Chains A and B, each alone.
Chain A
Amino acid sequence: MTKMAFMNAINQALDQAMEKDDKVFLMGEDILGGAGVKHLEEKNEDAWGGCFGVTKGLGPKYGKKRVIDTPLSEQSYMGAAVGAAVTGLRPVPELMFSDFIGVSFDSLLTQGSKMRYMFGGKAKLPLTVRTTVGAGASAAAQHSGAYYGIFASIPGIKVVVPSSPYDAKGLLLSSIEEDNIVVFCEDKTLYGVKGEVPEEYYTIPLGKAAVKREGKDLSIVTIGKMVSVALDVADKLSDQGVDVEVIDLRTVAPWDEETVIDSVKKTGRLIVIDEAQPHNNTATDIAATVTDKAFDYLDGPIKRVTAPNTPVPFATNLEQAYIPSADRVIEEAAEIIDDLKNSK
């Protein structure tokens, strides 16, 4: 085990995936950086390794054939990734910000996600789209969205949102092994977070949640960087005699109904924390599904704590208020928390 930053865990996963399977290649904007610049090519250097530096070093190691800098043509390079996947390669395109899905969506929405079905099961789409999500980097409204729910709403796409360096590596390797489209959502504010990561190649199954903390009074289901918020809530409530279970979904589509429902059956109470917008989203889907399938086990309404129904603001104070915090969770879900406090 090595202590490694989240972004380095992703870099290592990409490296190991490329080493293992020569059909794996990366494409995206500036994932090399300075492509075609002579003085860099002479020294076999990459300028950026992606705008966050996540792919740094992979270009020099694997060459321009396997680490392809694309023009700023999100629509076409994403479509090219779909075309390459359906014809037998294993592309890992990077969409710099999930917000850019607006300019590249067609290839995933009407092409890739539907091909296997439309073609009667004959197509395979081994395609992993890496993208960044999340507010908290002062990136404002067009570069901070947590749009995993949009992808997750499309049949034929799996969506992964890792919360730790360990998960990031194992889940990314699983994603790349998949013969399906996976959108792998990296929270840009987690890139510097460090954690224990094994050096060797390992995978974490998609569609399986992780119980980060066991508890019997209250379940919190969440994803990505909200996992740390949930653990914070659990600590705070623990002082007041409330025993909180924290579930990290890891995969938003398909999400692990079994683990969530089992937890709700145990605790009777559920909070879903989701940094995405409040409506038509992962949190609403979880709440609806649990109400549907575990109604008789509910000992209170399901509370959804999400971002407000606004774009992401720029001003630091507003942005902080936008992102769900532990205090906000405790306040907004008071209705199902307060009577648990010191009540045994």
Chain B
Amino acid sequence: MKKLTSAKAKEVFEKMSDIRNFENTLHDIFAKGEIPGFVHLYAGEEAVAVGVCSHLTDDDYITSTHRGHGHCIAKGCDLKGMMAEIYGKETGLCKGKGGSMHIADLDKGMLGANGIVGSGFPLAIGAGLRNQYLETKDVAVCFFGDGAANEGNFHESINMAAIWNLPVVFINENNTFAESTPQHYSSASKTIAERTAAYNIPGEKVDGKDFMAVYEAAGKAIERARKGEGPSLIECHTYREYGHFEGDEQTYKYDSDEENAFHERDDVKEFRDYAIKKKLFTEKVAKKIEEKSLQDVKDAVEFAKESPAPQPEALYTDVFAD
């Protein structure tokens, strides 16, 4: 696996900052009532999306979850197009017809945020099957939460990926809660990773707040898949900065010292400190990146607000391909 270069580190920090700023901004504007619908924020889990997607190209596919903004940004989706989509505008990535929960960008290999928990698994199997069928070196990455691990698709899909030796990497974002239900309550197995033993594929649990831990584990898994050595699973233990959805009072949080300690951690700041310490970029560069990120997100909001709503005719189009 390639070492994290200075250039890559800057790119990583840009993406992590973008995700954090994008989600913080959405948190504020949602509270102001400017955007319709449900919003599930990714803040706090940046190390996972960026740590994984840093190894991917536009030809690789990812499937996402209802908490998908981070995956989109990490996979290279345009901030303006995303923000306009969340505002339900014509200029959105999906012409305003998908919204926060269905942002997709097939050109970037992003197969869509997904409102149905666990439905991304088989899509990734399909994408992996496609890569294998067409004999490409591309991989499919399936992001899923700790809640999705208890859906039937988890088992069916991992089993199929395993028997067909598909180039699929399953990335579990164990952010401690499935909606309001803690993982220790809803899973019989202590970790998600250990379940892979049943399907005879590698499974590993890493500190999901630690960018480098995710980056390195994902790098290995993705390389393995590209080489045709089959699927694997990484459980990234992380924590959700905000509630399940915006408006969630989160009274279920802070149940143990261990959880509180995890909550205190900031994966973006940790990576910033790490990179500066490792001289991957300077404090000055970091500040510049942070300022640009703030400005980019601000511009995205302006763009979204100024964009027109979809034309009424759009209601009827895009049901079928002609």
Contact = CB atoms under 8 A, between A and B. Distances in A.
Nearest to A156: B319
A80 B93 contact: no
Contacts of A180: 320-321
B127 interface: yes
Contacts of B133: 23, 25, 65, 84, 89
A21 to B, nearest CB: 13
Given A118-B98, A120-B92, A121-B317, A83 B160 contact: no
B122 A80 contact: yes
A276 B12 CA distance: 56
Interface in A82-137: 82-89, 91, 106-107, 110-111, 114-125
B95 interface: yes
Contacts of B318: 116-117, 120-121
A106 B116 contact: yes
Contacts of A195: none
Interface residues of B, number: 47
Interface string A18-36: 0000010100000000000
A83 B320 contact: no
Contacts of B86: none
A173 B97 CA distance: 31
A89 B130 contact: yes
Interface string B71-112: 000000000000000000000111111100010111100011
A87 to B, nearest CB: 4
Contact of A79 (B93, B140, B157, B164): B157
Given A87-B130, A116-B321, A120-B94, A73 B159 contact: yes
A73 B162 CA distance: 13
A233 interface: no
A81 interface: yes
Given A84-B130, A86-B111, A120-B95, A76 B125 contact: yes
B153 A75 contact: yes
A188 B140 CA distance: 37
A319 to B, nearest CB: 32
Contact of A120 (B61, B98, B126): B98
Contacts of B156: 71, 73, 75-77
Contact of A118 (B104, B140, B164, B317): B104
Contact of B123 (A86, A89, A122, A155): A86
A156 B111 CA distance: 18
Contacts of A122: 94, 104-107
B124 interface: yes
Question: Can you list the 7 inter-chain pairs with the closest CB atoms, starting with the nearest?
Answer: A83-B126, A79-B122, A76-B156, A120-B95, A73-B156, A120-B94, A121-B318
10 contacts: A76-B159, A79-B119, A79-B157, A80-B122, A80-B160, A83-B140, A87-B127, A89-B130, A119-B94, A123-B106
A34 B129 CA distance: 21
B321 A73 contact: no
Given A83-B122, A84-B126, A119 B104 contact: yes
A82 B104 contact: no
Interface in A51-83: 65, 68, 70-71, 73, 75-83
Nearest to B96: A120
Given A25-B133, A76-B156, A119 B102 contact: yes
Contacts of A91: 126
Interface in A118-170: 118-125, 155-156, 158
A87 B153 contact: no
A79 B159 contact: no
A339 B153 CA distance: 57
